[in-house]
Chain A
Amino acid sequence: MKNKGKLIMLIFIFSETFFFIALIIAYVYYRNFSDTTDTVAKSLDAVRAGIFTLFLIASSGTLILSKKALQKKNYKIFKLFMGLTIVLGSVFTFGQITEYIGLYQKQITLSQDIFGSSFFTLTGFHGLHVILGLIALAILFFLSFGKMKTVTIAGIDGVDVYWHFVDVVWLFVFYFVYITPLL
């Protein structure tokens, strides 16, 4: 493979996968193999989280469109969809922050019990990855305005792979944290 930016990001997310697997295992383990009942699940609003999930999935779609536009050298469309990706990602982050505030108002906290600990750790680490991705996207976005009108192939391919990864991880988190308690 010639494109080392894409290659390193692919093996990096291979590594990241193991990190999230460990965090998800902890959550599933405590729910299914300990004697306590899940105190967080009943306070979660799966529909609300589902709507914000759609925003994150949509952002992956717009990123694909913006990358295609870049390859066709259609810079206006590139900027439009890149901006849209950042907005959609930010909406998701906003949804997560307001959810956290709501839970803390209901006295559901990190130090409350084992489910508080694992819920906030798992979703928090995912949220950090989203914010990191947003920063990377924002850098690519603003580069296309400034004097340095260059986006490296390595840069856009790397961020692209990373953002889709963050998206896919959320689908697993959403399934295990929000959906399985309802089943």
Chain B
Amino acid sequence: MSLYIDIPEDKEQLPSLKTGQGKLAWMASVDHKQLGIMYLWLALVFFVIGGLEAMMIRAQLALPNNDLISPELYNQIFTMHGTTMIFLVLMPASIGLGTYLIPLMIGANEMAFPRLNAFSFWMTCLGGMLLYFSFFAGGAPDAGWFNYAPLSENNYSSTQGVDYFLVGLILTGIGSIGAALNFITTVLTLRSPDIKLNMLPLFVWMIFVNAFLMLAAFPLLNAGLFMMLIDRQFDAHFFLASTGGSAILWQHFFWAFGHPEVYIIALPAFGIISEVIPVFSRKPIYGYKFVAASSIAIALLSYSVWAHHMFTVGLSNTVNAFFAISSMLIGIPTGLKIINWIGTMHKGSIRLTTPMLWAMAFLICFTFGGLTGISFAIVPITWQLTDTYYLVAHFHYVFLGGSLFGLFAGIYYWFPKMSGRMLCSKLGKWHFWLFVLGFNLTFFLQHVLGVLGMPRRIFTYPDLPYWKVLNMLATLGAVMMFVGMAIFFWNIYKTLKKPRTVGENPWDAWTLEWATPSPPELKNFDEIPRVHSRRPLWDINNPDNPDKKLN
């Protein structure tokens, strides 16, 4: 009789679409590759919904004194647009790429906890569905994506929308924490014995650092969400100033989560860029150690900048000065990373493929978004420009120009690995140019609109000088992005109907995922290639000229 044995979990065959039969296998699967793809589909579905909401906003704002959408609906739409894009598009897309690629890149056959992996996905998925169920339950949440009290409290809401917001985000938050736990344990316990931590591909490293950020940020959000839920459901008083509570405390909780969240969304994109740029410049990354270490600096600093979202609250000058300085500090490691990526491209033999185009657009647009971000660290500029379209333009440059462009680069780059088919490069370039030009048309002009004084979140506006033409052009840009996205979907649809033709390593890349067939078998590796440097496949293909040995 043995009471104390180590049961090896991964010897048995785990459920997956390739082992099970029928549609239920989709729900039972714990295969990391399939879950990664399901995360990406989830993100894509919600991207369509969130994108349509954005189009509704732009249609309403195209003309002054427009009454296409009622003010009540407009509030719901912009709230749902922001919440969807952040929690149900950028998060699951980043987590999905991580789930798919981390075991492949470190020479593992599964995540450390495959069932937890499935649990995380379904939590995120159910959270999203619950959030959208609010439309059928009387009305969607309408207090903005940061859901400030007291506007989000009972006395100011006519529907249950905010309750659905709270419960939905608690669920997606639990899902994200589960994914983060899995990423860290996988990287620490399942690496191929050859791979030391300083040899991790930068994408893996960024997701690894990011996982710690998620673990520390989401509990703060969830605590705040629970308090507000208790406020709304059980008549507690946490954020109700009229009965002794503090609305400011909600802002602290939300932004103590919310600013790290910006980096949680940006770091995976940094990781993608750090894989794509070296491969298509045919050079190893410039300053690997610096890129890796500066991510840790970003992660730590991101916890000391949250109150720059609250400069207008009336905290003391000392507090404002502290957060202004730390917000400028965090620009340094981020800005230097840009130099690293440009340094990688310098004198490289650059191949202008679709992923590389997205990576270069990322460099330009993200830098611009970062600069307007620095301008917001200056307290008087925030006082002047907060809650105007200048702010809207700034964070769209960060979220789209930064995270989304990075994710597009990643999707074009790894699509052949995931599906065995290459996305059409001609359509890809149409998608790229329409989207990037449309993006800059819409959001560059919104900086000007903001300086002219147009506030965000107003459902219509009077016909003031320049407002009409700038808004019309912004809507035109949104239409260009919409067409670009339609081409992207057409491209995916058309490509998926073709037979599988791609070999193991179509881009001539260097990391371990490209040593598996495209798409990989259910068991990733029968034998893992020996790894001696950060570019194992380079060493194998160029035995005369290998990289410096690191182990």
A57 to chain B, nearest CB (A): 25
Considering only residues 237-253 of chain B, those with a C-beta below 8 Å from chain A are 237-238, 243-246, 249, 253
B1 near A1 with CB under 8 A, answer no
Known: A1-B188, A7-B189, A29-B249. A117 touches B237 (CB 8 A): yes
A152 near B5 with CB under 8 A, answer yes
A7 and B192 alpha carbons, distance in the complex (Å): 18
Closest Cβ neighbor of B253 among chain A residues: A22
B123 to chain A, nearest CB (A): 15
Closest Cβ neighbor of A118 among chain B residues: B238
Contact among B1, B223, B231, B244 with A19 in the assembled complex (CB-CB below 8 Å) = B223
B-side contacts of A36, CB under 8 Å: 244
A154 and B234 alpha carbons, distance in the complex (Å): 38
B112 near A71 with CB under 8 A, answer no
Q: Answer yes or no: B226 CB below 8 A from chain A CBs.
A: yes
Q: Answer yes or no: B181 CB below 8 A from chain A CBs.
A: yes
Contact among B181, B223, B244 with A12 in the assembled complex (CB-CB below 8 Å) = B181
Interface size on A, residues (CB 8 A): 42
A30 and B237 alpha carbons, distance in the complex (Å): 11
Q: Answer yes or no: A26 CB below 8 A from chain B CBs.
A: yes
Considering only residues 137-154 of chain A, those with a C-beta below 8 Å from chain B are 144, 149-154
B-side contacts of A23, CB under 8 Å: 223, 227
B-side contacts of A1, CB under 8 Å: 188-189
A-side contacts of B7, CB under 8 Å: 150, 152, 154
B113 near A153 with CB under 8 A, answer no
A19 near B237 with CB under 8 A, answer no
Identify which of A88-96, A106-114, A170-178 touches chain B.
A106-114
Known: A4-B185, A29-B246. A150 touches B5 (CB 8 A): yes
B-side contacts of A151, CB under 8 Å: 3-4
A30 near B244 with CB under 8 A, answer yes
A-side contacts of B4, CB under 8 Å: 70-71, 73, 150-151, 153, 156
0 or 1 for each of B213-244: is its CB under 8 Å from A? (1 = yes): 00111111011101100110011111000011
Q: Answer yes or no: B2 CB below 8 A from chain A CBs.
A: yes
A19 near B3 with CB under 8 A, answer no
Known: A29-B249, A30-B244. A110 touches B3 (CB 8 A): no
0 or 1 for each of B155-198: is its CB under 8 Å from A? (1 = yes): 00000000000000000000001001110110011000000000
A-side contacts of B1, CB under 8 Å: 149
Contact among B2, B226, B253 with A121 in the assembled complex (CB-CB below 8 Å) = B226
Q: Answer yes or no: A183 CB below 8 A from chain B CBs.
A: no
A29 and B246 alpha carbons, distance in the complex (Å): 9
A-side contacts of B230, CB under 8 Å: 110, 117, 121
Q: Answer yes or no: A98 CB below 8 A from chain B CBs.
A: no
B115 to chain A, nearest CB (A): 12
Q: Answer yes or no: A11 CB below 8 A from chain B CBs.
A: yes
A-side contacts of B112, CB under 8 Å: 4, 8
Q: Answer yes or no: B12 CB below 8 A from chain A CBs.
A: no
Known: A15-B218, A22-B253. A8 touches B181 (CB 8 A): yes
Contact among B2, B182, B224, B236 with A22 in the assembled complex (CB-CB below 8 Å) = B224
A34 near B244 with CB under 8 A, answer yes
Q: Answer yes or no: B6 CB below 8 A from chain A CBs.
A: yes
A154 and B116 alpha carbons, distance in the complex (Å): 14
B246 near A150 with CB under 8 A, answer no
Residue of A12, A18, A36, A78 most packed against chain B (CB within 10 A): A18
Interface of B is mostly: helix
Known: A22-B224, A111-B234. A11 touches B6 (CB 8 A): no
A4 and B184 alpha carbons, distance in the complex (Å): 10
A15 near B219 with CB under 8 A, answer yes
Known: A16-B219, A19-B219, A110-B234. A26 touches B249 (CB 8 A): yes
B189 near A75 with CB under 8 A, answer no
Q: Answer yes or no: A42 CB below 8 A from chain B CBs.
A: no
Residue of A8, A70, A150 most packed against chain B (CB within 10 A): A8
Q: Answer yes or no: A104 CB below 8 A from chain B CBs.
A: no
0 or 1 for each of A1-42: is its CB under 8 Å from B? (1 = yes): 110100110011011111100110010011000101000000
A113 and B223 alpha carbons, distance in the complex (Å): 19
A150 and B226 alpha carbons, distance in the complex (Å): 37
Known: A23-B223, A114-B245. A11 touches B181 (CB 8 A): yes
A75 and B4 alpha carbons, distance in the complex (Å): 10
A153 near B219 with CB under 8 A, answer no
B183 to chain A, nearest CB (A): 10
23 A-B pairs, CB-CB below 8 angstroms? A4-B112, A8-B184, A15-B218, A18-B223, A19-B220, A19-B223, A26-B238, A29-B246, A29-B249, A30-B245, A75-B3, A110-B230, A111-B235, A114-B238, A117-B236, A117-B238, A121-B227, A125-B226, A149-B1, A150-B4, A152-B6, A153-B6, A154-B6
A-side contacts of B244, CB under 8 Å: 30, 34, 36, 113-114
Closest Cβ neighbor of A9 among chain B residues: B181
A22 near B238 with CB under 8 A, answer no
Known: A1-B189, A8-B112, A111-B234. A70 touches B3 (CB 8 A): yes
B3 near A150 with CB under 8 A, answer yes
A117 and B216 alpha carbons, distance in the complex (Å): 24
A166 to chain B, nearest CB (A): 15
0 or 1 for each of B112-149: is its CB under 8 Å from A? (1 = yes): 11000000000000000000000000000000000000
Closest Cβ neighbor of A152 among chain B residues: B7
B189 near A22 with CB under 8 A, answer no
A-side contacts of B184, CB under 8 Å: 7-8, 11
B-side contacts of A149, CB under 8 Å: 1-3
A35 to chain B, nearest CB (A): 8
A8 and B119 alpha carbons, distance in the complex (Å): 15
